[in-house]
Amino acid sequence: MKRTPVVFIHGAWLHALSWEPWAERFASQGFLTCVPGWPGEAAFVRDTCEPADLLGRVGLDALTDHYARIVRSFDIPPVLIGHSVGGLIAQHLVTSDVGGAAVAIAPAPVNGVPLPPPPALPPADRTGSTERLVTLAPEQFHRMVANTLTPEESRLLHERYAMPAPLRLLTDLGYGGEDPSPWAVADVSNAARGPLLLVSGQEDRVVPDSATRAVYKQYGDTAAVTDLKQFADRAHSLVVDSGWRLVADYVLGWLNQRGIRPRPPRS
């Protein structure tokens, strides 16, 4: 019998390997898990830090198309679970009827919801191409992404999962004072889409809880299922830090509540 697929979409400054504990947890519950990387992303963090021409050219449009092709390749519409820019992409896809349900965790905002002035970004690194990557040093990662963690836990996460982000993608998301990309949208009026869960960390400095709540309010007039879960004392690292399982198990419970189970009913 076929299993319900779950596609994990990671965000900026974290490698696809950051989803491994989630994938193992969901697989243990019977889901078929898929953890694809970005175009140009190497299999291991250390290799992604090398010159990466393809990764440096990735913008929000290419990244969204990349995941749309993956999602459409399944016979059963997958559950989409995205973090940060991955949460934005998950919303864009599910509201376009690509995918069966979506969970957007600390998602980059859609539809013009503003972010506060971002923490100072480090200079972009030249990588041998005309495009550039932006790398977070360990102390920057701690200040921006893992601000509720101890310096030691933050350092370990940085060593294990942190990777550079394309400057073009950050610009598309509105960093640096630019207008967000036209791809940073979701059809909040689509009443036929699958269920959507928005998740925020109340101490998040990259995507504040207030931004996620503002996006949630945009969905207020649709008949489609839209839920919000806020985690107190959690930062942008909530999907990867030592408290990840609390978030993952909440998502599993939400899927079950919404009738989305590891094995879909026979047609």
- Average pLDDT of span 118-137: 62
Residue 126, pLDDT score:
46
Task: State which of 115-129, 139-153, 158-172 shows the largest mean pLDDT.
Answer: 139-153
Q: Is 81 helix (H, G, I), strand (E, B) or coil?
A: strand
Q: What percent of the chain is predicted at pLDDT more than 70?
A: 89
Measured between alpha carbons, how far is 27 from 5 in angstroms, rounded to an integer?
10
CB proximity list for 67: less than 8 A, separation 6 or greater = 7, 9, 36, 80, 89, 93
pLDDT band of residue 267 (cuts 50, 70, 90) is low
Per-residue pLDDT at 33: 98
For each of the domains in the chain, give its residue range(s) and CATH number, in order of start: 5-257 (3.40.50.1820)
Helix (H) or strand (E) holding 264: none
The pTM of the full predicted model, rounded to 2 decimals, is 0.93
Residue 90 scores a pLDDT above 50: yes
Mean residue pLDDT across the chain: 90
pLDDT value at residue 45: 77
pLDDT, tens only, 190-210: 999 999 999 999 999 999 999
